[in-house]
Amino acid sequence: MSDPLVLLPGMMCDARVFGPQIAALSTDYAITVAPVTGGERIEEIASGLLDLLPRKFALAGLSMGGIVAMEVLRRAPERVTRIALMDTNSLAETPQTAANYEPAIIKLRSGQLREAVEALLPPEALADGPDRADIMAMVLDMADHVGETAIIRQIRALQRRRDYQSVLRRCKVPALVLCGAQDALTPVKRHSLPSRPDPLCQSGGDRRRRAFAAARGPRGHHRGARGMAETALCPANPCRCLTPNHRRTGWCDCAGCAARCRSGPGATCRLECGCWPGLY
C-alpha cells in the first residue's frame, strides 16, 4: 500500500487550495490536509503536526506549507518518504522583509481583512488570465475562514523562521521543487538556489502564482501532483519525446514543450513537456 500523502496549505489557505489534487488522487491515496495555524513559530507548528501525522508519509507543502514541510523534514527525516516544495522559500527573513509584514498585521487587527490579504498577496502576483478573479476570490474566502488571529500567528511564524538550505542539502528522499514561471512572490530564481549535492528536481511550471492549486490549472501541475505521489520525479531517464537531434544537442524537442527543456541525469526539466517517466 502506498504511503499516505500529507498536504500543507499556504498562509491564509485551507484545504480548498488543494481541491483539484484531492479530487484527482483521493481514489488511490489516503490524503490528509494538515493546518499550518498551530503556533507563532514554524517549529511549534511542525511539532504539533508530527504528533498527529502517520508514522510515514509523503509530504507536499505550498508556500508557507512548504516552509513547515522543511521543518518537518528537519525534525523527522525518517518519517518523510518523499517531499514536494511548491512556490516556497528556503531562506530566513531579513530584518527588512520581516518588517514588511507589519502593515498587514495592523490591517488584520483593525478588521481590514481584504486589505490585509491584498497586501500579502497582491492581485497582480497572479498572472493575468481568465481565472485570476476566481482564484483571488477563493483566497479571500479562505482567509476569512482561517481568520485574522490565525493569520497573524502565521505571519509571526514566517518572520521568525530559520534558513532551511542545510536541511535541503541533507535531504535523502525523492524531492520535487515546483513553482510558477511568473511567480512574483517566490520567483523561479529563488527556487533554483543550490540545495543539495544531487540537485532537487526543478520545474518552472505554469505562469500562474498558485497554478498547482487552481481549479482549472494546466495539466502539467496535475501530473506533478500524481507524479510526486508515485515516483521520485528525478530526470534520471532519457526523455520519451526526443528527436534524433537529442544525441547531439541534449535538448528535448517535444512539440508540447514551449520553452524546451534539458533532459537527462541532473538536468532541469519542465513538467509541461511530459518527458519525465511516471507522470501519466
What would the pLDDT profile of 107-157 be if each residue is shown by its tens digit? Answer: 999 999 999 999 999 888 887 888 889 999 999 999 999 999 999 999 999
Can you tell me the mean pLDDT for 26-50?
Answer: 96
pLDDT of residue 189: 62
Whose cell is 540545495? That residue is 195
Measured at the CA of 206, the angle between CA 201 and CA 211, to 5 degrees, comes to 100
- Max CA pair span of the chain: 63
**Mean pLDDT of the 170-174 span:** 93
Enclosing H/E stretch for 61 = strand 57-62
**Which of residues 224 and 197 earns the better pLDDT score?**
224
State the average pLDDT for the chain. 76
Distance in angstroms between the alpha carbons of the first and the last residue of the chain: 19
3-class SS of residue 178: strand
Q: What's the average model confidence in pLDDT over 218-242?
A: 41
pLDDT above 70 as % of the chain:
66
Query: Cα dist. 177→15, 29, 99, 223, 277 in Å?
Result: 20, 21, 27, 14, 16
How many beta carbons lie within 10 A of that of residue 255, not counting itself? 8
Nearest Cα to Cα of residue 90 among 26, 166, 4, 28: 166
Give pTM, 2 decimals: 0.73
